Amino acid sequence: MAEGNNGETILPGRAGSSPAGGRLVEREHEERLLDGLLRGLRAGRSALVEVRGGPGAGRSALLRRAEELAGAAGVRVAGAQACWEETGVRHAVAAQLYAALAPRASPLVRELLHPGTAEGGALSGRLCRAFLAAARTQPLLVVVDDVQWADRESLRFLQALARRLAGAPLLLVTARSDALPPGPGERIELCPLADPRVVARHGVDLAPLSAAGAGRLLAGTLGEPVEPELAAAAALAADGNPAVLRALAERFARPGRPAAQDREARERDARDREARLLRCAAEAVRDRAVRTLAVLPEDLVEVLRAIAVCGPHGSPAMIAALASPRTVDIAQALELLAGTGLLAPGERPRFRAERAAEAALAGLGAERREHLFARAAEVANRAALPDDALARMLLGARVTGAPWAVAVLRREAARLRVAGDPAASVRLLRRALREPVGPRLRVELLTELGVLALPGSPESSDRFLRQALLAPADASAGPARVRAADLLVARGDYASAVPLIAGAGARPGAGGRERAALRALYWLAKHGQDGSAQEPHRPEMAALPERPEDPAEAGAAAWLAALHGRDLARARELARAALSPAAPDGTSLTARVAACHALLLTEDVAEAQSGLDAVLARAHRANAPAVVALALLIKALATLGEDRAEEAERLLERAEEALPERCWHPQTAPGVRAVRTLARLARGDLDGAERAAAPARPEEAGGSMARAFLSYARGRVR
């Protein structure tokens, strides 16, 4: 197998399939065209051909194939490779071409190598006469690759030669990157008066390889047929680019292994192969970017780094503000970089692939990288870019100290949470915590992190909430601190909550309402766990007042009274006070749930259900999934008491959606299983009830209210 300069792969062909014994993948039509034009030179018909395609599309390979076909047809070849490094070198391409026709000692060669000794126009005329004379002696193929990089004098010569093609059997073939279309005065055209029967003009556009073509290329490397689904995935991952496909195929090749026997194993093997193929594609793109970056001057690499930092929102003005190339202006730099194939077409410069952008930044040290991201964020903020662009830059930036940075990160985190990406929201809020923030804002950020981390990592969620309670805070942080304690108790982390809440309530800056709410949550957590687990040196809080005035304290006192079966009339009165519409909006949601539970225990079921509906509405608005799940659990228990077992199970399913059972704390998780056990038992599903009441997991061992309730449910099943 061979490869062209632009990455096209030549596969071994059947005997007689081509003079060179090889063929290009999905370039049969182009080969036939070139072969016909070369054979037409013998009949005196000249032609001009422009091959167009993106970087890696196989332009170089097709030109080399034309040279092979020319040799088979008895046609002389003069070829040149233009490069952007020699764009400013006069007659650089023309000298390469003429060197194939004349010895280096000829006077014209000396003039081309030392262009200052002759006028450009006169030299182009002499070159045209020399090429036409050579073509009259023997048909001639002139090939110029990457003509977009040709120096101005050589381009003028090629334009002049194209206008004279009718004078001799000569085929002029140029290849140009789609990334740099010709500007005014750069097109190579035939003479307008040329007879089309004598001189023909053709444009050849190299399309990306299809799924079938990608399959042929992979099969040639792997030595075995490739599944159509895998070929389609390869074509999509490589964007049909032959250069990337070839690199992908070489990475993907591996020793054969026995074919899977059963259907499930075959499907699993197919998924594994496709996943590995996508990884190989990403690695191929990155390696290609690394090789390209290695040959670019530092000025252009700096521009690429600026593009990588700005992402898809970077305008040329932003990039110029970050890179400031010294040897070229930003427009020239972007024009040069367009020919590398690293950038996607469009008004705003951006990388085709994320892995290529990563490769551009890989050479920077951590400090320089963070500084570049911070500068980009500042420029983007002044340009009023959207939050997602700013947040992306801030994630990679050093601490800015700018107030707008935290606001942007919080807004974007909220948007991503609604969009269903809590992990990304967590990253943004953790980045926001690196900025200098006030006591209240720090507690709020830690509490938000506790909410967002809950579905993926309950332990991390509890850790953030504990940090919120431990963080130094003034009186302004009171509501945020109460919310952190509320969420910690709602999930059931009682052992951590008790001392932390006591410590927070004892701080000098705590206000009266904050102390009351924390006291209510303290006693709810204290009675939710086994009292023997408390360490004697832990700080304690004052007992709940006999006649609580705060709604949160009333809710906790109602639950404790109902729990112990003492003075149910008073428990009912306290619960109603906690759930009164006059109660402040900031009243602890967990204390409200406790008040509803108290009404359920006093057999005021309808009132309890109504209160739970109100709590659920508030908890949804406050984005408190642990409270939502707890309220639904109590609501299921109330529904079960009304002999509506199926409705109770539906409520349990909703609770599972809000907070999966694995996310409940081991202190409270048995309560979910207990209610599920009783619901199935009420429906007559004894087997289901036995499964739900299975022995507790090791982490659920120990004493708690929920654990005792599960023991009761298990006894009911027996």
The 10s digit of each residue's pLDDT in 618-676 is: 999 989 999 999 999 999 999 998 889 999 999 999 999 999 988 888 888 888 899 99
Per-residue model confidence as pLDDT tens digits over 270-315: 777 778 888 888 888 888 788 778 777 888 889 999 999 998 888 8
pLDDT of residue 586: 79
Name the DSSP class of 343.
Answer: B
Comparison of pLDDT for 478 and 597, the residue scoring more: 597
494-505 helix and 512-528 helix, angle to the nearest 10 degrees: 160
Mean predicted confidence (pLDDT) in 367-382? 94
Strand order of the β-sheet with 22-24 is 2-3, 9-12, 22-24
User: How much is the pLDDT for 665?
Assistant: 87
pLDDT attached to residue 114: 64
Which residue would you say has higher pLDDT here, 316 or 531? 316
Q: Of the given ranges (331-345, 403-417, 584-598, 650-664), which has the lowest mean pLDDT?
A: 331-345
449-453 average pLDDT score: 92
Q: Is 170 helix (H, G, I), strand (E, B) or coil?
A: strand
Structure tokens at 443: 């507690």
Of 272 and 494, the one with more pLDDT: 494
Position 21 confidence tier, pLDDT thresholds 50, 70, 90: very low
pLDDT attached to residue 169: 95
The reported pLDDT for the residue numbered 266 is 64
Section 685-707 average pLDDT: 75
pLDDT given at position 400:
92
Q: Residue 18 has which token pair?
A: 């081509």
Q: How confident is the model at residue 54 (pLDDT cuts 50, 70, 90)?
A: confident
**Which of 66-80, 216-230, 434-448 is the least confident region?**
216-230
pLDDT band of residue 537 (cuts 50, 70, 90) is very low
Q: What is the mean pLDDT of residues 525-534?
A: 63
Question: Residue 535 pLDDT more than 60?
Answer: no
Nearest partner of 44 among 114, 136, 115, judged by Cα: 136
CB 124 within 8 A of CB 153: yes
Q: What is the distance between the alpha carbons of residues 497 and 462, in angstroms, rounded to a whole number? A: 9
pLDDT at residue 581, rounded to an integer: 87
Q: Which of 340-344, 429-433, 497-501 has the highest mean pLDDT?
A: 429-433
Cα–Cα–Cα angle for 113, 114, 119, rounded to 5 degrees: 115
Segment 473-478 mean pLDDT: 77
Q: Per-residue pLDDT for 66 more than 90?
A: yes
Contact 322, 372 (CB under 8 A): yes
> What confidence score (pLDDT) does residue 82 get?
93
- State in Å, rounded, how far the first CA of the chain is from the last one: 74
Question: At 22, is the secondary structure helix, strand, or coil?
Answer: strand
Residues 434-443 pLDDT 10s: 999 988 899 9
CA distance 668 to 708: 10
Q: Are the C-beta atoms of 377 and 405 separated by less than 8 Å?
A: yes
- Rounded Cα gap, residues 251 and 624, in angstroms: 48
pLDDT band of residue 144 (cuts 50, 70, 90) is very high
**Quick one: pLDDT at residue 196?**
85
Range from 323-332, 446-455, 503-512 that averages highest in pLDDT: 446-455
**Residue 238 near residue 5 (C-beta atoms within 8 A):** no
Task: State how far the Cα of 369 lies from the Cα of 308, in Å rounded to an integer.
Answer: 11
Q: How many CA atoms lie within 13 A of 312 on its CB side?
A: 8
Specify the higher pLDDT residue, 179 or 211: 211
pLDDT bin (cut points 50, 70, 90) of residue 614 is very high
What proportion of the chain, given as a percentage, has pLDDT over 70?
A: 89
pLDDT averaged over the chain?
Answer: 85
Under 8 Å between Cβ of 191 and 164: yes
In this predicted structure, the answer to whether residue 598 has a pLDDT above a threshold of 70 is: yes
More confident residue, 60 or 280: 60
Q: Which residue's entry shows tokens 């938000």? A: 448
Nearest to 629 by CA among 598, 683, 665, 600: 665
Is this prediction's pTM over 0.75? no
Query: Three-state SS across 227-287?
Result: CHHHHHHHHHHCCCCHHHHHHHHHHHCCCCCCCCCCHHHHHHHHHHHHHHHHHHHHHHHHH
The answer, yes or no, to whether residue 235 has pLDDT greater than 90, is no
Lowest mean pLDDT among 197-201, 293-297, 594-598: 293-297
What pLDDT, on the 0 to 100 scale, is given for residue 79? Answer: 95
Residue with tokens 């596969």: 11
Supply the DSSP symbol for 694: P
Residue 424 has pLDDT above 80, yes or no: yes
| Measured distance CA(233)–CA(21) in Å, rounded | 30
The pLDDT value recorded for residue 12 is 31
